[in-house]
Chain A
Amino acid sequence: MEKQPREQAVTEPADSGAGGEEGGSPQVAGAQTARPQDRLTLLLRLRAQTKQQLLEYKSVVDANEEKTPEQIMQDKQIEAKIEDLENEIEDVKIAFEIKKLALDRMQLSTALKKNLEKINPKTSVLMDNMKHVLKLNKLIMKSQQESWDLEEKLLDVRKKRLQLKQASEGKLLEIQTEKNKQKDDLASMENSDKIKTIQQNLQMEIQITTVIQHVFQNLILGSKANWAEDSTFKETVLQLEKNLTMM
Chain B
Amino acid sequence: MSVLRPLDKQPGLNTATILLVGTEDALLQQLADSMLKEDCASELKVHLARSLPLPSNVNRPRIDLIVFVVNLHSKYSLRNVEESLHHVDATFFLGKVGFLITGAGREGHCSIHWNTVVRLARTYRSPLLFCDLEVEGFRATVAQRLVRMLQICAGHVPGVSALNLLSLLRSSENPALEDV
Using CB atoms and an 8 Å cutoff, list the residues of chain A in contact with chain B.
3-15, 18-19, 42, 45-46, 48-49, 51-53, 55-57, 59-60, 93-94, 96-97, 100
Tell me the bound Cα distance from A166 to B36 in angstroms.
89
Tell me the bound Cα distance from A83 to B21 in angstroms.
39
Tell me the bound Cα distance from A51 to B11 in angstroms.
12
CB A97 to nearest CB in B, in angstroms, measures 6
Q: Mark B29-53, 1 if CB is under 8 A from A, else 0.
A: 0001100101111111111111111
A7 touches B48 (CB 8 A): yes
A52 touches B177 (CB 8 A): no
Kindly identify which residue among A7, A49, A51, A100 contacts B55, using a CB–CB cutoff of 8 Å: A7
B26 within 8 A of A: no
List the 5 closest pairs (A to B, CB-CB), nearest first.
A53-B155, A52-B155, A48-B158, A12-B36, A49-B156
**A-side binding surface: helix, strand, loop or mixed?**
helix
Name the residue of chain B whose CB is nearest to the CB of A57.
B7
A12-B36, A14-B44, A52-B161 are contacts. A6–B49 as well, Cβ < 8 Å?
Answer: yes
Tell me the bound Cα distance from A12 to B159 in angstroms.
26
Residue with the highest number of chain A CB atoms closer than 10 Å, among B38, B52, B155: B155
The interface residues of chain B lying within 8 Å CB-to-CB of A57 are 7
Tell me the bound Cα distance from A45 to B51 in angstroms.
34
B157 touches A52 (CB 8 A): yes
Q: Mark B61-92, 1 if CB is under 8 A from A, else 0.
A: 00000000000000000000000000000010
A52 touches B47 (CB 8 A): no
Name the residue of chain B whose CB is nearest to the CB of A52.
B155
A5-B49, A7-B55, A7-B58 are contacts. A15–B41 as well, Cβ < 8 Å?
Answer: yes
A55 touches B47 (CB 8 A): no
A18 touches B177 (CB 8 A): no
B116 within 8 A of A: no
The interface residues of chain A lying within 8 Å CB-to-CB of B167 are 96, 100
A6 touches B50 (CB 8 A): yes
A97 touches B43 (CB 8 A): no
Kindly identify which residue among B32, B39, B43, B49 contacts A10, using a CB–CB cutoff of 8 Å: B32
Tell me the bound Cα distance from A55 to B160 in angstroms.
11
The interface residues of chain A lying within 8 Å CB-to-CB of B154 are 49, 53
The interface residues of chain B lying within 8 Å CB-to-CB of A14 are 36, 38-40, 43-44
Name the residue of chain A whose CB is nearest to the CB of B37.
A14
B176 within 8 A of A: yes
B44 touches A45 (CB 8 A): no
A10 touches B36 (CB 8 A): yes
A18 touches B41 (CB 8 A): yes
A14-B40, A57-B7 are contacts. A93–B51 as well, Cβ < 8 Å?
Answer: no
